[in-house]
Amino acid sequence: MAVNVAVVGATGAVGDLIRKVLAERAFPVKTIKFLASEKSAGKTVEFAGKQHTVELIRPEAFTGVQIVLSSTPSSVSKQYSPIAAKAGAIVVDNSSAWRMDPDCPLVVPEVNGDELHNIKKGIVANPNCVAIPLCVALKPLHDIGKVKRIVVSTYQSSSGKGATGLVDFDAQLKAFASGGPVPAPTAHRAQLAGNVITLDWTLDPNGFTEEENKVINETRKIMGDASIGVCPTCVRVPVRVAHCESITVEFHTPVSVEVAKAALAKAPGVVLMDELKGQFPQPIHAEGTDHTYVGRVRQDPSNPNALCLWVVADNLRKGAASNAVQCAEELVKRGIVK
């Protein structure tokens, strides 16, 4: 079944990638339009060998559209995603605006795709770029031993700040490498070249950053278990693309390394790398792919019910654009789109 699609925020970093992923994955497009703000309206973008003029986001633009893939600031999403849904579309929204709304499913297809049958507002929320690979890696283990608690430290790339983050980082990196004065940060909160930043996000009243609280709340919602304990520390590292996660996961019952590896090896979306063969997940493996790479699976020496693992995924693709397109694919496959 081919469907009518609109990409909102089409000229942004994630919107641009959504366009490319749709083409790469041969999404069944009947018609497609690209929408953006006044700043970008009138520009042209290429899709499937044809040039398309970017249209202004406005209510009339959603007439006849069946699936909207939206990547805008939350304020824009709060305004236009309900309008698109009212016009009859199902919106897959990349912003944080709808993630914790009880009437909007928060979906990672490999983990909780069945939630797509419970779309009450016409909006599907696309999760945070850390929560997505975290849940992809933990779901097959949760099915075996039931997760009790997660302690995760992240190593998040500059591109998590979008195109402005990369411009900022690249300018710093160039100066740092040449030994010249490093320009003051503009997107990141401190110098990232040759450094790590533990407070590159807004600090919330509970002492955790906005990003860390997203990981806590979204992981519980995606996994469908509010009792799971989640303790994250999110860190920005001098890498352009792909986020890494060091995870210690405690189960209600013991899960052996051998059983865990067997489950991960056959889990959808997971690429298990064998440290005994000298393999270990790195950002350069994940960049440009839609996989979640898992490795360094080992027994926690301090807790017989816990395992440690290392996870890497492309934050722009699986952490954003590709997961949204996968949600759209499921909507078509499951016959949810009318």
Domain extents in the chain = 3-127+320-333, 131-157+196-315
Neighbour tally for 249: CB within 10 Å: 26
| Assigned CATH for 131-157+196-315 | 3.30.360.10
| pLDDT tens, position by position, 104-163 | 999 999 999 999 999 999 999 999 999 999 999 999 999 999 999 999 999 999 999 988
304, exposed or middle or buried, with CB in 10 Å at 0-12, 13-18, 19+? exposed
**Is 52 a catalytic site residue?**
no
**Cα–Cα distance measured from residue 10 to residue 281, given in angstroms and rounded to the nearest whole number:** 31
For the chain, how far is it from start to end, CA to CA, in angstroms?
10
| pLDDT tens, position by position, 199-246 | 999 999 999 999 999 999 999 999 999 999 999 999 999 999 999 999
**Cα–Cα distance measured from residue 232 to residue 151, given in angstroms and rounded to the nearest whole number:** 6
Judge contact between 163 and 15, C-beta under 8 A: no
Judge contact between 216 and 208, C-beta under 8 A: yes
**Cα–Cα distance measured from residue 262 to residue 108, given in angstroms and rounded to the nearest whole number:** 21
Tell whether the torsion through CA atoms of 163, 165, 168 and 172 is positive or negative: negative
Residue in 242, 245, 310, 299 with CA at minimum distance from that of residue 272: 310
The DSSP code for 155 is E
- pTM for the model: 0.95
Chosen CATH of 3-127+320-333 out of 2.60.40.3880, 3.40.47.10, 1.10.3720.10, 3.40.50.720? 3.40.50.720
**Is 135 a catalytic site residue?**
no
| pLDDT tens, position by position, 48-105 | 889 999 999 999 999 999 999 999 989 999 999 999 999 999 999 999 999 999 999 9
Task: Say which of 142, 188, 243, 291 is annotated catalytic.
Answer: 243
Question: Nearest 5°: CA angle at 276, between 238 and 234?
Answer: 30
